[in-house]
A and B are shown apart, each in its own frame.
Chain A
Amino acid sequence: MNYKYFPQTEEDLKAMMAKAGVEKLDDLYAQIPESIRFKGNYELPMSMCEQEVRQLFEKLGKENRQLTCFAGMGVYDHYTPSVIPSLLQRSEFLTSYTPYQAEISQGTLHYIFEYQSMMAELTGMDISNASMYDGTTACAEAMMMAVAAGKKVNKVLVTGCMNPLTFEVLETYALHQGIELEVLPIRDGTTCLDDVKARLAEGGVAGVILQQPNIYGIVEDFTGFADACHEQKALLIIDSVASDLAVLKTPGEWGADIAVGDGQSLGIPMLFGGPYVGYMCCTEKLIRKMPGRIVGMTKDSRDQRAFVLTLQAREQHIRRQKATSNICSNQSLMALFVTIYLSLMGKQGLKEAAKLSYAGAHYLCDELLKTGRFHLAFDKPFFNEFYVKYDGDADTLYQRFIEEGILGGIRLEEGFLFAVTEKRTKEEIDNLVKIAAL
């Protein structure tokens, strides 16, 4: 009967059942009506030993193809320092729960405080929370925050140049919250201030959501947007790729009220979609309206500096239906991941990686344009991702890339969205161009 995760011996069982007042284990469920009592075995295979589990997964793993990644659209193939997986596997981080008992969770509370500090620095904002699930849900929460902060307004303007996957999530939340989303027109691959002003003037707008870089990889000029929003008492929300903020003008510098996005670009492996980590930062004024956990500094009974979960009165376990959100578990371990990443890469490393990505992307773009078969859809500045049209059959070319072991960007509308990170070598880029030129 015994099993490696169940320590109870026959002797133990006898003694414990006696204390619990039952004669057999089945009696523990005497109160469950017969009609719904599960009997027999679940439709699952028999237990497997470790090597059998390994074999099964290895077999499945072989069916996945590792491709040289030139795809982005919110998920990027960045370098992961070796230090991180080894630290993340420390069981005191991995197997602990939310730090409700501050006295034995100073490890977690310290790193969350560091994470908050670093994300605030990166985004140029005053405050950060302890993380959200991902960039798309962080954006949805920011949308809800703007509506809640406003006075009986339920419209939110969204850039037409938003990642359609993010937009789908916004639509989902908006539907059930009775929020009206209005998509701004795309003007030559960017968002136009005049459109925003015109729409704001009509009234009823709680917030405006922009994306940087936008879906086409374009780095937009958001001069004047914050002022326009604030004049009409709307909040400005900017969704940015975290790693790009090492170099790019920050949401804080643009005058945003809320900065959201995904931290996946900070070294987190692509992992087929998750876990990643969403970030949410805001101005000091909005701190009590922000969802998610927040760690603050305080003193303990021995007058030492200590950290603790604070402003919990916003959260579900206290505020229940009036809570700023329903979020409990977030992505804490991934916040630790990002914190260690930012500690290792630091001020200089993050900039260097961003510069490499920028250079690689612009080199690829130039080389593709030189083939004469590609042209940039929009003559606008980009960072490490760009959108080109191809004069041949894009699907066929995409297939050819795959056959050669390359994930040749993302097929977006009629063209290709290519992304380059510090992981792509000149050889890999030249190889892609060679195939593309055929």
Chain B
Amino acid sequence: MSKVIEGLYYSESHEFVRVDGGYGFVGITDYAQNALGNVVYVDMPEVDDEVTAGEEFGAVESVKAASDLISPVSGTVVEINEALEDQPELINQDAFENWIIKVELSNKSELDNLMDAKTYASFCEK
């Protein structure tokens, strides 16, 4: 059973958003890190890059797979999690704690298109 945290927003491609004021912390879920296996590399955008909901903004690589990261929200990247450059395995240790990008949200209504914890949990079980 993968961990799912209350209060976060989830996408069907297994990304989460943790909202903090006008910002969103975006990462992949516990379900995703489990499916990938040992993460060996995270391909992140740069600060000031634009991200668009539904479009890819990077990738997470393991030995046996590579998954595109699809942004659940639109906005501007204000911070990237630099710790992941040297220690990508942090995502396996705690996927929710180790977010990938911090986005200044341009359109908070997009959050309505995402799932809540309960809905996501049942989605995963299918």
Contacts and interface: CB of A to CB of B under 8 A. Distances in A.
Consider the complex of A and B and state whether they touch directly, i.e. have CB atoms less than 8 Å apart: yes
B43 A312 contact: no
Interface stretch (B26-34, B61-69, B116-124): B61-69
Interface in A282-334: 288, 312-314, 318-319, 322
B23 interface: no
Contacts of B62: 313
A101 to B, nearest CB: 15
Nearest to A310: B63
B125 to A, nearest CB: 26
A313 B68 contact: no
Contacts of A312: 63-64
Enumerate the 6 nearest inter-chain pairs by beta-carbon distance, A residue then B residue, closest first: A313-B66, A313-B61, A319-B66, A318-B65, A318-B66, A313-B65
Question: Could you say which interface size class chain A belongs to?
Answer: under 10
Nearest to A317: B64
Interface in B50-94: 61-66, 68
Majority DSSP secondary structure for residues of A touching B: helix
B63 A288 contact: no
Interface in B31-48: 40-41, 43
Nearest to B56: A322
A98 B43 CA distance: 28
A288 B41 contact: yes
Interface of B: 40-41, 43, 61-66, 68
Contact of A322 (B41, B64, B68): B68
Nearest to B60: A313
A322 B65 CA distance: 12
A192 B26 CA distance: 47
A314 B66 CA distance: 8
A313 B64 CA distance: 6
A318 B41 contact: no
Contacts of A288: 41, 43, 61
Interface of A: 288, 312-314, 318-319, 322
B54 to A, nearest CB: 16
Nearest to A320: B66
A421 to B, nearest CB: 43
A97 B43 CA distance: 31
Contacts of B41: 288, 313
A314 B62 CA distance: 10
A359 B26 CA distance: 63
Given A288-B41, A288-B43, A318 B64 contact: yes
Nearest to B65: A318
Contacts of B66: 313-314, 318-319, 322
Nearest to B43: A288
Nearest to B64: A318
Q: Taking each of A288, A313, A314, A322, which has the highest tally of chain B beta carbons within 10 Å of its own beta carbon? A: A313
A322 B66 CA distance: 9
20 contacts: A288-B41, A288-B43, A288-B61, A312-B63, A312-B64, A313-B40, A313-B41, A313-B61, A313-B62, A313-B63, A313-B64, A313-B65, A313-B66, A314-B66, A318-B64, A318-B65, A318-B66, A319-B66, A322-B66, A322-B68
A322 B68 CA distance: 9
A319 to B, nearest CB: 5
A319 B61 CA distance: 10
A218 B39 CA distance: 48
A250 B43 CA distance: 30
A225 B64 CA distance: 39
Contacts of A318: 64-66
B20 to A, nearest CB: 28
A319 B41 CA distance: 14
A288 B68 CA distance: 14
Contacts of A322: 66, 68
Given A313-B62, A318-B66, 11 more contacts: A312-B63, A313-B61, A313-B63, A313-B64, A313-B65, A313-B66, A314-B66, A318-B64, A318-B65, A319-B66, A322-B66
Nearest to A319: B66
A105 to B, nearest CB: 17
Q: Taking each of B61, B62, B65, B66, which has the highest tally of chain A beta carbons within 10 Å of its own beta carbon? A: B66
A315 to B, nearest CB: 9
Contacts of B40: 313
A312 B41 CA distance: 12
A319 B66 CA distance: 6
Contacts of B64: 312-313, 318
A260 B44 CA distance: 27
A194 to B, nearest CB: 31
Q: Taking each of B40, B61, B62, which has the highest tally of chain A beta carbons within 10 Å of its own beta carbon? A: B61
A318 B68 CA distance: 12
